[in-house]
Structures are given as C-alpha cells and as structure tokens.
Amino acid sequence: MEIQRKQLRDAAIRTREQLAATDRAPLETAVQTHVAALLDRLDIHRLAFCWPYRSEPDLRPVVVDWLDAAPGRQAALPVMVAPARPLKFREWTPASAMVPDMHGIFIPADGAELTPELLLIPLNAFDAAGYRLGYGGGYFDRTLAALSPAPRTVGVGFELGRVDTTHPQLHDHPMHWIVTEAGIHPVGGGA
C-alpha cells in the first residue's frame, strides 16, 4: 500500500512539474480565483497557507488580497520544528523577512506563533473523499491530530492530481474542501 501511495504521489508531482508554463498559467489563475471566492464566504480571521514548493499553486497573491480586504486578519506559514513533530504556524506579512528551511521552502525569519482557524493545504494526489497525499512526511496529519479545536481544511491543487483513491490510512484526515482549477468541491463535511 505504501508503494502505491508513493507511486501516486510521485506521478502527481512529476506531471505538475512538467506542465508547460503556458498550460499552467490559466490553471493557477483559476485555482487562485476559486480559493479567493471560498475565503470570501468564510468568516475567519487567521489562516495558514504554504509558500509554493515544487510547482504547487502560488497562493501568495490570494492571501495578500485577503489580508488587505478587512482589518484584523492574520496569515501564517507552517514551520517544521523537528522531524516527526506537528508543524507550528508563524505569522507572515508581505513585509516578513524570509529564510529557507531544511527543504529550501521559505519561512518567516521571526514572527508570533499563531493558531489558524483554516488551513490551505497543498495537494499532490487527492481523491473525491477529500483524502490527500503530501510529500510523505505526515506533517499535516500530525498537525491536524494535535490542533484543538480542529481547524477547517482546504486542500488546494490541480485536477492532474485526482485519483480514484489515495488508499487512505487510519492517520489520514480528509479535507473539508478540495479546490482545484475546476472549482470548489465540498467534501468530508465542509459546506
């Protein structure tokens, strides 16, 4: 089963990284538009997103617009504090000084730790039940298991990662919504 999951994960990453820029651009714009529309209708003040890695959709413009649209909003980025430990979330603004983490993903050099109400989580492969495959570290699963109250979760990615099943394991947490270039899909209890 882990071999199948690894194959699905690797195929999705490879297909995404091989997209030509001209094919990718309209997909990324559509993902950004749908994420912005979903955020608009949710009453949240603190959200977490990810700095783009390995051709994931870039949500920075969406988050910048969301921060600007109302006072009192805060955004955060995940920080790996140790292997096999839950992620922490550090406040980010467009003015934050950024440093690369151990994988070369940029994180805020400093900033307050924050508890997000909503997580925008990158998808590699995903299925219609809202289960996802990340990079295989189990970081988001551990983080979702540790956060109380549980945040709402939005898996964000491209349709090229859709599979019949990700072969979900007991530790996997389904997303409340999946957002791709095709639209906003409520799954796993989201509305």
Ligand X SMILES: Nc1nc2c(c(=O)[nH]1)N(C=O)[C@@H](CNc1ccc(C(=O)N[C@@H](CCC(=O)O)C(=O)O)cc1)CN2
Ligand Y SMILES: Nc1ncnc2c1ncn2[C@@H]1O[C@H](COP(=O)(O)OP(=O)(O)OP(=O)(O)O)[C@@H](O)[C@H]1O
CB 14 within 8 A of CB 6: no
Decide if residue 80 touches ligand X (CB under 6 A): yes
Structure tokens at 182: 């095709």
171 binds, among ligand Y, ligand X, none (CB under 5 to 8 A by kind): ligand Y
| Stretch in the footprint of ligand X (CB under 6 A) among 112-120, 132-140, 146-154, 165-173 | 132-140
From residue 40, give the alpha-carbon distance in Å to each of 23, 69, 141, 155, 156.
27, 9, 26, 16, 16
By CB under 6 A, name the one of 54, 60, 142, 167 that touches ligand Y.
142
Tell whether residue 56 is among the known ligand binding residues. yes
Q: Under rule CB under 6 A, which residues in 111-140 are in contact with ligand Y?
A: 133-140
| 54 in contact with ligand Y (CB under 6 A) | no
Q: Which pair of structure tokens corresponds to residue 84?
A: 């096999």
Q: What CA–CA distance (Å, rounded) separates 121 from 87? A: 12
Q: Tell me if 175 contacts ligand Y by CB under 6 A.
A: no
Q: Does 51 bind ligand X (CB under 6 A)?
A: yes
List 79's β-bridge partners, or say none.
88
Residue 100 binding ligand X, by CB under 6 A: no
Residue 35 sits at φ, ψ, to 5 deg, of -65, -45
Residue 177 binding ligand Y, by CB under 6 A: no
Annotated binding site for substrate: 56
